[in-house]
Amino acid sequence: MTTELMTQLGYVLAAGLFIFGLKMLGSPATARRGNMISAIGMLVAIVSALLDQGIVDFTYIAAGMVVGGAIGAIAARAVAMTAMPEMVALFNGFGGAASLLVGWAALSPDSSTFTLITIVLSILIGGVTLTGSLIAYGKLSETIGSGAITFSGQQIVNSLVVLGIFGGAVMFCMNPADPTWLYIVIGLALVFGIMAVIPIGGADMPVVISLLNSYSGLAACAAGFAINNNVLIVAGSLVGASGIILTQIMCKAMNRSLSNVLFSGFASVSSEETVIEGEIKPISVDDAYYVLEAATNVAIIPGYGMAVAQAQHVVKELTELLENNGCEVNFGIHPVAGRMPGHMNVLLAEADVPYDQLLEMDEINPRMETVDVAIVIGANDVVNPAAREVESSPIYGMPVINVADARTVFVLKRSMASGFAGIENPLFYKENTRMLFGDAKESIGGLIREFS
Amino acid sequence: MSGAEYLLFILMLSIFLGFELINKVPATLHTPLMSGANAISGITVVGAVALAGTGNENAAMWLGVGAVTLASINVVGGYMVTDRMLSFFKKKED
């Protein structure tokens, strides 16, 4: 058997393992093994690639793998679960950068036009993924402001950048010998990644991360065309499809189109004032305890605020106390709660909350009428009844968790400042809502002390 | 051995397959799915090794070495962090 054939068969095996691994990610019971199988697939692919007879010197390959692997391993061990969104964003960016470099290195004087086009595509998508992910990382880790950055003439600048990329790409494909055009495309792709993400605010990050995830796959896919490698195409398009599906789910959960998320922040929405009737009714930890003590069915709705307050462990403690008190406790998870898809589930899983206690929005809403107390922790827009009741609201039509249907609602909130989107929340003024002001972790800590 | 049309054929099939596979993943696993998929996108390392091992110390080789390093961060970090996350997911025991 020739080594060429062995390499190709290795790739087939690797592709099969990726597919099988992703299939096993379909259930929490098999997911961990699925990830392992996918990792074995990657190992098979890498070993197969190393059989390539064009490789004469393994020194630099080994050096790159050791350095990169060590950085990755350290980061993966050290990262806190609350910081997962920015970690994923950063890894995404590295993947994009790798595809950019592979596309670039694949350039040779005798490349066909088709190959040149795929090289440009891998450089373009890879470059946008790199800088877009770095900006997303900056916003998520708050190293740069998480707000939307807009300036007048932004659309014009963006259009010019796109035109420049297009023109540069065409010129490069016609004169591949002149590297100037290539550098222009690389530079503009990097600029475009920045320009595309800066106008998007922190609350829309679940969409952006999903989309960048998709791009990192598509970049690998384009690089696969550039170097004529089918396993890159298979793996890249699997990732691309996964990112696109998550993007769709996130957009649907916000009732917004993708272009609306990408091109307009909430800021531009008319500031039409709606009169909200009723008054804010604060509650003390003592009184909240008495209500919870008598409750038999409690639903907890977490949001990004729970992650910020690092309250997931005390939430778990409170859950146990309530259960020991004969109360049923469930969690209602909105698809866009947190800063990435499934963010809340990972945080609560880390705090030892079993996954069958975490209900999706469509599961928890029909049960809400039987709930004695709904506790909203650091969530705002995802429980805003204005989405159902106020037609002029910017979030009108967005599916939300109907906490107001519960007998009593506790809202744990730092202060009365409105949520990220700056939208008034009529929930706080409802007859059956009680506000428990203060740091979520301390408030829940207070409740726990009352119980014990 | 592989022409462009053959590669496009593979592309089409794997996109459909990807949609079918991922649609079945429950919302509770979306974060691990994303980081696991992210690790798979580090597959670029496979292409990068051939470019990094040519032995002639030219620009293309150094680009390849850079790509190997970056993609290795993605692969190792992505799989390890996914495994760490998935180790937290437990069913309720009664």
Examine residue B63 and state whether it is found in any structural domain, yes or no: yes
Q: Which residue has the tokens 């499934």?
A: A342
Examine residue A84 and state whether it is found in any structural domain, yes or no: no
Q: What is the pLDDT of residues A192-219, one digit of tens each?
A: 999 999 888 777 888 899 999 999 999 9
Q: CB-based contacts of A89: which residues, under 8 Å, 6+ apart?
A: A133, A134, A136, A137, A140, A209, A212
- Spatial contact of A35 and B82, defined as CB atoms under 8 Å apart: yes
Supply the mean pLDDT for chain A: 89
Which of A265, A119, A113 has its CA nearest to residue A201?
A265
Query: What's the confidence (pLDDT) of residue A161?
Result: 92
Catalytic residue among A204, A381, A405, A439: A381
A224 and A168 within one domain? yes
Which amino acid appears at position A136 of this protein? A
Give the pTM: 0.89
Q: Which residue has the tokens 């969409």?
A: A207
A251 and A111 within one domain? yes
A256 and A227 within one domain? yes
CB spacing of A245 vs B22 below 8 angstroms: yes
Which of A419, A391, A406, A429 has its CA nearest to residue A255?
A391
Examine residue B92 and state whether it is found in any structural domain, yes or no: no
Query: Number of folded domains in chain A?
Result: 3
Task: In whole angstroms, give the CA distance from residue A78 to residue A80.
Answer: 7
A429 and A299 within one domain? yes
Q: Which residues of A touch B28 (CB under 8 A)?
A: 28, 333, 342, 345, 355, 358, 360
Examine residue B67 and state whether it is found in any structural domain, yes or no: yes
CB spacing of B92 vs A239 below 8 angstroms: no
- Chains A, B: CB contacts within 8 A come to 373
A387 and A420 within one domain? yes
Q: What is the CATH number of the domain that holds A305?
A: 3.40.50.1220
Q: What is the pLDDT of residues A44-98, one digit of tens each?
A: 999 999 998 778 888 999 999 999 999 999 999 999 888 899 999 999 999 999 9
CB spacing of A341 vs B67 below 8 angstroms: no
Task: In whole angstroms, give the CA distance from residue A14 to residue A8.
Answer: 10
Query: What's the confidence (pLDDT) of residue A268?
Result: 44
Examine residue A274 and state whether it is found in any structural domain, yes or no: no
Query: Helices B30-40 and A230-253: crossing angle, nearest 10°?
Result: 150
A299 and A442 within one domain? yes
Examine residue B50 and state whether it is found in any structural domain, yes or no: yes
Task: In whole angstroms, give the CA distance from residue A158 to residue A121.
Answer: 18
Examine residue A313 and state whether it is found in any structural domain, yes or no: yes
Which of A374, A436, A383 has its CA nearest to residue A444?
A436
A194 and A62 within one domain? no
Q: What is the pLDDT of residues A304-313, one digit of tens each?
A: 889 888 899 9
Examine residue A12 and state whether it is found in any structural domain, yes or no: yes
Examine residue A48 and state whether it is found in any structural domain, yes or no: yes
CB spacing of B84 vs A335 below 8 angstroms: no
Q: CB-based contacts of A259: which residues, under 8 Å, 6+ apart?
A: none
Query: What's the confidence (pLDDT) of residue A264?
Result: 61
Query: What domain range includes position A195?
Result: 90-266
A125 and A152 within one domain? yes
CB spacing of A340 vs B87 below 8 angstroms: no
Indicate the SS3 state at residue A49: helix
A240 and A99 within one domain? yes
Is the pLDDT higher at A42 or at A157?
A42
Examine residue A165 and state whether it is found in any structural domain, yes or no: yes
A194 and A97 within one domain? yes
Task: Please tell me if residue B17 touches chain A, with a CB cutoff of 8 Å.
Answer: yes
Query: What's the confidence (pLDDT) of residue A267?
Result: 44
Check pLDDT > 80 for residue B43.
Answer: yes
**How does DSSP classify residue A117?**
H
Query: Number of folded domains in chain B?
Result: 1
Task: In whole angstroms, give the CA distance from residue A236 to residue A226.
Answer: 13
Tokens of A149: 């950055």
Examine residue B91 and state whether it is found in any structural domain, yes or no: no
Examine residue B64 and state whether it is found in any structural domain, yes or no: yes
**Among partner residues A105, A235, A341, which is closest to B34 by beta-carbon distance?**
A341
Q: Which residues of B touch A87 (CB under 8 A)?
A: 35, 77, 81
Query: What's the confidence (pLDDT) of residue A414?
Result: 82
Identify the domain boundary among A51, A78, A105: A78
Strands (E), A28-113: none
Q: Is A381 a catalytic residue?
A: yes
The size of chain A, in residues, is 452
Task: In whole angstroms, give the CA distance from residue A410 to residue B20.
Answer: 40
Examine residue A273 and state whether it is found in any structural domain, yes or no: no
In this prediction, the answer to ipTM > 0.90 reads yes
Query: What's the confidence (pLDDT) of residue A373?
Result: 94
Compute CA distances A54 → A111, A438, B51, B52, whole Å: 18, 64, 9, 10
Q: CB-based contacts of A91: which residues, under 8 Å, 6+ apart?
A: A72, B35, B38, B39, B73, B74, B77, B78, B81
A102 and A72 within one domain? no
Examine residue A298 and state whether it is found in any structural domain, yes or no: yes
Examine residue B94 and state whether it is found in any structural domain, yes or no: no
Task: In whole angstroms, give the CA distance from residue B20 to residue B10.
Answer: 16
Q: Which residues of B touch A75 (CB under 8 A)?
A: 73, 77, 81
Q: Which residues of A touch B86 (CB under 8 A)?
A: 31-32, 35
Q: Which residues of B touch A50 (CB under 8 A)?
A: 49
Query: What domain range includes position B74?
Result: 4-86
A413 and A309 within one domain? yes
Task: In whole angstroms, give the CA distance from residue A256 to residue A250.
Answer: 9
Tokens of A99: 């595809």
Task: In whole angstroms, give the CA distance from residue B66 to residue B53.
Answer: 12
Check pLDDT > 90 for residue A298.
Answer: yes
Task: In whole angstroms, give the CA distance from residue B15 to residue A105.
Answer: 26
CB spacing of A42 vs B40 below 8 angstroms: yes
